[in-house]
Structure 1
Amino acid sequence: MKSIKLRGVCAAVSGALLFGFGANAMADSTVDIVNALVSKGVLTEEEGNLLTKGREGEKVGQEKAMKTAGKIKISDVVDSATLYGDIRARYEYRDGEDTGNFDEDRQRGRYKLTLGVKTTAGDFYSDIALSMGSGGRSDNATFGNGNNGANSKETVYVKRAMLGWSATDWLKLEAGRVANPLYTTSMVWDADLTFEGLVEKVDFKTGNINWFGNFAQSQYRGDRQDFSVDTSDRKTNNILAFQGGAKFDITDTVSAKVAATFTKYTNDNATGASTFVPGLGTNTGIGTSLGSTITATNDLRTIEIPAEVGFKMANNMKLNVFGDYVVNIDGDDRFDAAVAAASSANQAAIRAAGNDDKAWLVGIGLEQKKDKVAKQGDWSAKLWYQDVGVYALDPNAVDSDFMDSRVNMKGIVFKGEYLWRDNVFVNLAAGHATRKNDRLAAVGTGNDINLNLDSYNLYQLDITYKF
């Protein structure tokens, strides 16, 4: 009788297994049925275990497969690989005026793609990222970039190719094309720029102070050439950056972060075409020359002090006050070299304009964030004012949006962000700027407005999908 009973129960349970095949919910129901039969004495515990053993193994296998689904498998030596990226669509409006009767309005749709993968293998790690945009300060492509609808396909470039080593708990070493390691602002470094060379990162804690250090040796212009019987030698130009800073809590609701950064450009050859010479503010018209050698990086040794103070408020709100101050300690030499290298007709005007070798920024931000990870409904807004002297910063590195890739500009910027979904961001940005020193040009390289700007406005509306 017992064997007949067991065969009947097995048939019933097998039916449940058949209907539950491939679904964890049904698998759980099958186990519940067997447990109920054991509790009523229909089956012994040994018989129940025999029936559920195979199903439990299958369930474990399904759960393991679900956990590994979506993970990238590269090789057995790689511990983990994470695919990431974003797609952004943008509408942008810029307009500028000079001191004459010339103005320019520029409207365009733009898009951006970034695709990358990060890997870890023991104490080594890597970051490889691809993006559009051949220029270092922009990953954007413009709609209608072709003739009469024959839009050209965009080229994808290597944005980052970094190999890292976690040497200790407090020291990381990175080499290759590396994300900018410095705690800084867009007034000094455009967010799309990378460093090429070596980076060292230090991070450790003593008491309630978190100390950090970022050091970079980046080749700004590489491929040094030395000829034994020629005068066509070419020097490298390296950027050497040394930063030390700290993050700490002042009270339970107030925190602070501050750093000091020394940056040196090694190519200090202030002669001829290697000398920075700004243009004059009186030049007007489309295509006006903004200076004879506006990309030169001679006499640049800067000290930068970025800082911020955060205040935790009710309802997951946080108020942030931030700023940045930069002085070019070789500003006098950069000014003197510009005067000496200018044409005889312009020397007096450039000398009379004086040496402006400082830049500063101050701003305020407000955000509401439910958790450490961004969630739908989170938002943030920040407003700042910046003032950049013509001899203070590298004109090749300042932000390409505000103020149109230029120095000798001052103005105000607003940026707001709202999370439409957990991974969908809507951003609005607006800014207004004017020329700081009217005697000199609003000088820069890679400008989007083709004028010697006296005033400038920018409006951007973005939607970004991150994955």
Structure 2
Amino acid sequence: MISPVNRLTLAAGMVIATLVGQAAAAPVAPSENVTINLIRLLVQQGVLTQDTANGLIAQAEKEAQQARQANAAPVVAAGPTAAPGDVRVQYVPQAVRDQIRDQVKAEVMATAKQENWAQPNTFPDWVSRVTFDGDIRLRDESRYFSGNNSNEITDYAKLNESGPYDVNKDTNTRLPPLLNTTKDRENLFRLRARLGMKAVISPEWTAGIRIGTGSDNNPVSTTQTLGGGFGKKDIWLDQGYLSWKATQDVTLTAGRFANPFYSTDMLYSNDLNFDGIAANFNHALSNEWGLFGTLGVFPVEYTSDAASSNGFDKEDSDTKWLFGGQIGANWKINRENSLKGAVAYYHFDDIEGQRSSPCSPWAGAPGCDSDGSRLAFMQKGNSVFLLRNITPNPATPGLTPQPQFVGLASKFDVLDLNLAWDSELPGDFKLRTQGNYIRNLAYDKGEMLKRSEGEIVNNINSQGQFESGGNALMVSFTLGSALEMRKRGDWNVLAGYKYIQPDALPDGFNDSSFHLGGTNAKGYFIGGNYGIDKNIYASARWLSASEVYGAPFEVDVMQLELNTRF
């Protein structure tokens, strides 16, 4: 085996021999200056460290001394007599010389690439594995309310957030939190800005992080209303996930990530991200057919340790979950037509409210045992009921305070059907026709009245009767030169209709613009988009919606936008 020092010395000799011709078989007197100069050159190029070079120089001097001493000894082997100062060099075959040369070249180039001096205009390896993207949206929004609206619609989301609220009018003269249903809001200047980073850790593993704006931790919108005395705006963690490509067709993602399901904003807002684990499947059967699917488990909310921070009695763990599954297909009918359809089922576990056992907050109890069944976030529309079963004070039964939270009256097992038909028309027009039907399979009016013990407080008609439903429907049409705005001159127009009964789906996760979010809404929307330049486009939308049941509430929303992405 050739030692590292001897191998380097021999390699250096081979390089010199190659430059001066094939003279390796002839006796050559060693030159110390050439060897040392070569070693120093390698130090300058970064191949060798100075400490290693010092060792090689010492070794070279030692071997030269040994060679001079050997020259003084009598020559035993047959051959021509060596003159004083000559050194006999063993013949090295051409194949061995080539092998040593290639090995040294490979080692030097590997070091050069690793330390980035072979290609000085390139960047480190990690730079090529990290990418950034983002978007900025400027929006001018106006909200116009009907003069026939009720001005007594309670904001139950805010009641839960700031409550409990005493509903006994004999002990509390303050109004509950109320929605603005009568005063127009014009020219709200709003901003959405998001910046994401994606890192390829290995061919199978990817990590992603995205930050975004937002007025609060609202899950369905990252839009920030500007103004506020020019105060600084909040930045939130919008996404953070790890993704593993288990096979060519299956990808697993965990953390906080974009909606993994094929759906519309009638069920899930376009800004909604999911917390949990999802497995996505995508397989091409042929050039015309493809299958896709998703399975996911998502913790919606963890219960707090106690109904009140100063309570001695802690609550049992009772996590609210979302379990979802979807299967769908793509069909390329011909060059002009394609279909995409999917069926999904979502089970929302334990998000419905629970009526408490008898409790006495008036006597100093910190809370009631069902307070944790209220949702962390709601918009509006779902039927809700008073959670606490408060016993009257025997001393003043009619003047017993009734501080209350509210919970959802219905369970939710949601069936979601989606179908989209894309077609190319004469004149290079493109048309997308989309339909979405949703049915809450768990909707049961009688069960809701039983669960609430008759304490449902909204979706009441003028006769004092409770009205609701478990169905939702959306149809939309998009026509233009392009369905997605990618370049200058792209354009399209769109129109659609939505009908959402109060308990067709949870009201906390869908689009926050139509009827200002939630369920119990029906109406139409129209709009258009135009490409100003590459990845820059303008949009205009008009959304008009009113209630399905309950107190009158009609609102028109106009949005003018400038969108960019990078």
Asked if these proteins are the same fold (TM beyond 0.5), I'd say yes
| Alpha carbons 1:310, 1:320 under 8 Å: kept | yes
| Alpha carbons 1:110, 1:142 under 8 Å: kept | yes
In the other structure, the counterpart of 2:261 is: 182
Q: Does 1:307 align with 2:419?
A: yes
Cα distance, 1:416 vs. partner? 1.5
2:145, 2:275 → 1: CA distance? Answer: 34
* Aligned residue among 173, 184, 191 for 1:111: 191
Q: Judging changes above 3 Å, is the alpha-carbon distance between structure 1 residues 167 and 465 closer, same or farther for their aligned structure 2 residues?
A: same
2:184, 2:144 → 1: CA distance? Answer: 4
2:458, 2:283 → 1: CA distance? Answer: 56
| Alpha carbons 1:335, 1:391 under 8 Å: kept | no
Q: Judging changes above 3 Å, is the alpha-carbon distance between structure 1 residues 143 and 426 closer, same or farther for their aligned structure 2 residues?
A: same
Cα distance, 1:243 vs. partner? 0.5
In the other structure, the counterpart of 2:159 is: none
SS in structure 1 at match of 2:414: strand
2:531, 2:459 → 1: CA distance? Answer: 51
Residue correspondence of structure 1 range 252-267 to structure 2 within 5 A: 252-267=335-350
Cα distance, 1:313 vs. partner? 1.9
Cα distance, 1:355 vs. partner? 3.7
SS in structure 2 at match of 1:204: strand
Q: Does 1:384 align with 2:530?
A: no
In the other structure, the counterpart of 2:209 is: 128
Q: Judging changes above 3 Å, is the alpha-carbon distance between structure 1 residues 337 and 459 closer, same or farther for their aligned structure 2 residues?
A: farther
2:463, 2:444 → 1: CA distance? Answer: 13
In the other structure, the counterpart of 2:532 is: 420
| Alpha carbons 1:267, 1:298 under 8 Å: kept | no
Q: Does 1:365 align with 2:464?
A: no
| Alpha carbons 2:460, 2:467 under 8 Å: kept | no
Cα distance, 1:183 vs. partner? 0.7
| Alpha carbons 1:79, 1:119 under 8 Å: kept | no
Q: Deviations over 1:254-305 (max 9, x none)?
A: 11011001001111554125476448xxxxxxxxxxxx86663850101010
User: Which amino acid letter does the alignment assign opposite residue 505 of structure 2?
Assistant: L
Q: Judging changes above 3 Å, is the alpha-carbon distance between structure 1 residues 425 and 348 closer, same or farther for their aligned structure 2 residues?
A: closer
In the other structure, the counterpart of 1:233 is: 316
1:254, 1:329 → 2: CA distance? Answer: 33
Cα distance, 1:454 vs. partner? 2.0
User: Which amino acid letter does the alignment assign opposite residue 206 of structure 2?
Assistant: Y
1:263, 1:154 → 2: CA distance? Answer: 35
User: Which runs of 5 or more residues in structure 1 are unaligned?
Assistant: 1-60, 280-291, 442-452
Residue correspondence of structure 1 range 263-412 to structure 2 within 5 A: 263-267=346-350, 270-272=353-355, 274=373, 277-278=383-384, 296=408, 298-332=410-444, 335-337=448-450, 340-342=453-455, 352-369=465-482, 374-412=486-524
Q: Does 1:432 align with 2:544?
A: yes
| Alpha carbons 1:92, 1:109 under 8 Å: kept | yes
In the other structure, the counterpart of 2:222 is: 139
User: Which amino acid letter does the alignment assign opposite residue 433 of structure 2?
Assistant: V
Q: Does 1:171 align with 2:250?
A: yes
Q: Does 1:249 align with 2:332?
A: yes
1:430, 1:348 → 2: CA distance? Answer: 28
| Alpha carbons 2:485, 2:530 under 8 Å: kept | no
Identity %: 23
User: Which amino acid letter does the alignment assign opposite residue 210 of structure 1?
Assistant: G
1:368, 1:195 → 2: CA distance? Answer: 33
In the other structure, the counterpart of 1:93 is: 142
| Alpha carbons 1:85, 1:113 under 8 Å: kept | yes
User: Which amino acid letter does the alignment assign opposite residue 191 of structure 2?
Assistant: Y
Higher RCO (Cα < 8 Å, 6 or more apart): 1
Q: Judging changes above 3 Å, is the alpha-carbon distance between structure 1 residues 457 and 123 closer, same or farther for their aligned structure 2 residues?
A: same
User: Which amino acid letter does the alignment assign opposite residue 96 of structure 1?
Assistant: F
State the TM-score, normalized to the length of structure 2. Answer: 0.60
Moved more, 324-333 or 264-273: 264-273
In the other structure, the counterpart of 1:154 is: 233
Give the CA RMSD over aligned residues. 3.1
Q: Does 1:82 align with 2:131?
A: yes
User: Which runs of 5 or more residues in structure 2 are unaligned?
Assistant: 1-115, 152-180, 356-370, 375-381, 386-403
In the other structure, the counterpart of 1:55 is: none
In the other structure, the counterpart of 1:199 is: 278
| Alpha carbons 1:410, 1:436 under 8 Å: kept | yes
Q: Judging changes above 3 Å, is the alpha-carbon distance between structure 1 residues 137 and 321 closer, same or farther for their aligned structure 2 residues?
A: same
1:209, 1:172 → 2: CA distance? Answer: 20
Q: Judging changes above 3 Å, is the alpha-carbon distance between structure 1 residues 378 and 196 closer, same or farther for their aligned structure 2 residues?
A: same
Q: Judging changes above 3 Å, is the alpha-carbon distance between structure 1 residues 175 and 350 closer, same or farther for their aligned structure 2 residues?
A: farther
1:345, 1:115 → 2: CA distance? Answer: 40
| Alpha carbons 1:332, 1:355 under 8 Å: kept | no
SS in structure 1 at match of 2:465: helix
Q: Deviations over 1:31-77 (max 9, x none)?
A: xxxxxxxxxxxxxxxxxxxxxxxxxxxxxx9xx888x68xxx6x64x
Cα distance, 1:195 vs. partner? 0.5
| Alpha carbons 1:79, 1:122 under 8 Å: kept | no
| Alpha carbons 2:383, 2:459 under 8 Å: kept | no
Q: Judging changes above 3 Å, is the alpha-carbon distance between structure 1 residues 197 and 224 closer, same or farther for their aligned structure 2 residues?
A: farther
| Alpha carbons 2:540, 2:559 under 8 Å: kept | yes
Cα distance, 1:184 vs. partner? 0.6
| Alpha carbons 1:369, 1:375 under 8 Å: kept | no
In the other structure, the counterpart of 1:464 is: 563
Q: Deviations over 1:310-341 (max 9, x none)?
A: 11123432111111000001110664357535
1:91, 1:348 → 2: CA distance? Answer: 35
